[in-house]
Copies of this chain bind each other. A is one copy, B any other.
Amino acid sequence: MKADAIRGHLDGLLLAVLEPGPRHGYAIITAVQQRSGGALELRTGTIYPALNRLERLGLLRSTWDSVGERRRRCYELTDAGRRGLADERSAWRAFTTAIGSVLDPQPGSAT
């Protein structure tokens, strides 16, 4: 996987894995990894700043919870986050359609 291929698509990934329910950062990484069949391995340095940004934008809200002595920060979607996810999904469809039609043009289309 090319290093910066996911640029511009990270937000959608984060919102999508939070759709079923709240998750903490580490679980987000493993969820993305599992869902993508191991293809996407996000780093902490990638997601934590992004999660902060999404919270600042009001798409996420976070709460601290504790398991024993260990603290973890759980993120969940806000209503704006759900709308944002819908936007990301339609943007993704438009994007893949656009790139796909250039990369693999239909035989009938103009050259």
Contacts and interface: CB of A to CB of B under 8 A. Distances in A.
Interface in A53-80: none
Contacts of A34: 110
Interface in A1-59: 1-9, 12-13, 16-17, 20, 31-32, 34-37, 39-40
Interface residues of A, number: 41
A37 B101 contact: yes
Interface of A: 1-9, 12-13, 16-17, 20, 31-32, 34-37, 39-40, 88-89, 91-92, 94-105, 109-111
Given A16-B103, A39-B97, 11 more contacts: A2-B91, A4-B7, A5-B9, A7-B7, A13-B103, A16-B104, A32-B102, A35-B101, A35-B111, A36-B101, A39-B98
